[in-house]
Amino acid sequence: MKKIFALALCAVMMLSVLAGCGGNKNDAPADNTPAQNEPAAPAENTPDAPEAGGTIGVCIYQFTDAFMTTYRNALQEILEGKGYQVTVVDGANDQAKQNEQINTFITQGVDALIINPVMTSAADQIISTVKNAGIPTVLINREPTAEQMAVYDKLVYVGCDAAQSGTFQGELILDTANKGDINGDGKVSYIMVQGDPENIDAQLRTEYSVKALKDAGVEVEELNLTRGDWMRERGQEIVANDLAQFGAQVEVVFCNNDDMAIGALQSIQAAGRKVNEDIYLVGVDALDAALNEVSNGNMTGTVLNDAVGQATAAVEQMELLLGGKTYASGEQSVYVDYVKVTPDNVKDFMG
């Protein structure tokens, strides 16, 4: 009896699926069938033919972030240049606020999302939200794990390999005349100004910058490590305090990004120190302000974090998703290379 009921239910379900197909808006109404030799009207909403001028929602973790400002401006320009309607919103470093923004975009029916998460730890929640809504999504700048991304095949991450930028910072110090050991005591004494440690860029730059020195056989001494949350004012405060405490012992100032390095430079100068003479200073991003300082000799070097390259790649991946591409697990990260910037090549990066 149960079996018969199940079969009957199946039949009803099949009928309703067929009825659903009959209601497809691509079907031409019976009284309007095109004449035989007329070309068929182009199909709407086919997966490989994204509408020109589709709508895109872009969520940025915080508008006041210097690097993400360059990045979001590049994204907006590229997307608008291609005829998309773009709305870019500021998460104001508040994950709850960003979750609402994502939900609003979904309710509005955007064609795709580009999301710079406020917190990497919120990736699971973000991914399940966009998956349930079936929205093709490109995550940028804050990389989740491969396992987190694997649950949704219309999701891809575009960014850089954070470890590489740390290694390059270490190499910038190794390339100096005394490999960072200014006072010749056989070890490099440094302070580390860290970004938001919740973010993998901050974790890996901190680790790999120092690892590059150790791997080259250089002895290191960490005088202090302080989180500066990527912000210029924090870089300034931290380095002012560290220089007051450790004075001439400080040979190298590692900053996880350029904005903090620019703040650090203000304190280095205020303390009467001179970069590349009695202290070294490195950052990451290649912000315009940092490129100027590298070229003036006030920063030892920086690492290009290619905002335009990443924005271009993010839009490319978004268009592939709109064209119906799905991603296999383990293949959901697309990387753009970092580039070392020194006084020798800095001109190549200046506008």
Token pair of 289, please?
A: 């302000």
**176 CB contacts (<8 Å, ≥6 apart)?**
276, 280, 300
Beta carbon of residue 337, minimum distance to ligand BGC (angstroms, whole number): 14
* Among 50, 59, 60, 65, contact with ligand BGC (rule: CB under 6 A): 65
* Among 112, 163, 265, 284, contact with ligand BGC (rule: CB under 6 A): 284
Size of the site for ligand BGC (CB under 6 A): 14
* Among 98, 176, 194, 199, contact with ligand BGC (rule: CB under 6 A): 199
In the complex with ligand BGC, which residue's Cβ is closer, 116 or 189? 116
In the complex with ligand BGC, which residue's Cβ is closer, 286 or 322? 286
By CB under 6 A, tell whether 67 contacts ligand BGC. yes
Distance CA 56, CA 33 (A): 35
Instruction: Mark residues 103-142: x for contact with ligand BGC by CB under 6 A, - for none.
Output: --------------------------------------xx
Which listed range, 60-68, 107-115, 244-252, 261-269, lies at the site for ligand BGC (CB under 6 A)? 60-68
By CB under 6 A, tell whether 257 contacts ligand BGC. yes
In the complex with ligand BGC, which residue's Cβ is closer, 230 or 254? 230
By CB under 6 A, tell whether 201 contacts ligand BGC. yes
Distance CA 341, CA 351 (A): 14
User: Could you tell me the strand order of the sheet in which 188-194 lies?
Assistant: 220-227, 188-194, 252-255, 280-282
Distance CA 274, CA 277 (A): 6
**Could you give the 3-state DSSP secondary structure of residue 57?**
strand
In the complex with ligand BGC, which residue's Cβ is closer, 169 or 189? 169
By CB under 6 A, tell whether 164 contacts ligand BGC. no
In the complex with ligand BGC, which residue's Cβ is closer, 92 or 320? 92
Which listed range, 14-22, 65-73, 143-151, 178-186, lies at the site for ligand BGC (CB under 6 A)? 65-73
**Between 288-296 and 258-270, two packed helices, what is the crossing angle to 10 degrees?**
40
Helix residue ranges, H only, the chain: 2-22, 66-81, 95-108, 123-133, 146-149, 162-174, 200-215, 232-246, 258-270, 288-296, 307-322
For residue 249, count CB atoms less than 10 angstroms from its CB and return exposed for 0-12, middle for 13-18, buried for 19 or more: middle
In the complex with ligand BGC, which residue's Cβ is closer, 54 or 117? 117
Sign of CA dihedral 310, 336, 198, 283: negative
By CB under 6 A, tell whether 169 contacts ligand BGC. no
By CB under 6 A, tell whether 168 contacts ligand BGC. no
Which listed range, 16-24, 62-70, 75-83, 306-314, lies at the site for ligand BGC (CB under 6 A)? 62-70
Distance CA 249, CA 190 (A): 8
CB atoms under 10 Å from CB of 177, counted, come to: 8
* Contacts to ligand BGC from residues 230-249, by CB under 6 A: 230
Task: Kindly report the backbone phi and psi dihedral angles of residue 193, in degrees, each rounded to the nearest multiple of 5, phi listed first.
Answer: -105, 110
Q: Are the C-beta atoms of 127 and 149 separated by less than 8 Å?
A: yes
Rounded (10°) CA dihedral 188, 269, 256, 167: -40
By CB under 6 A, tell whether 157 contacts ligand BGC. no
By CB under 6 A, tell whether 143 contacts ligand BGC. no
Binding site for ligand BGC (CB under 6 A): 65, 67-68, 141-142, 195, 199, 201, 230, 257, 259, 284-285, 305
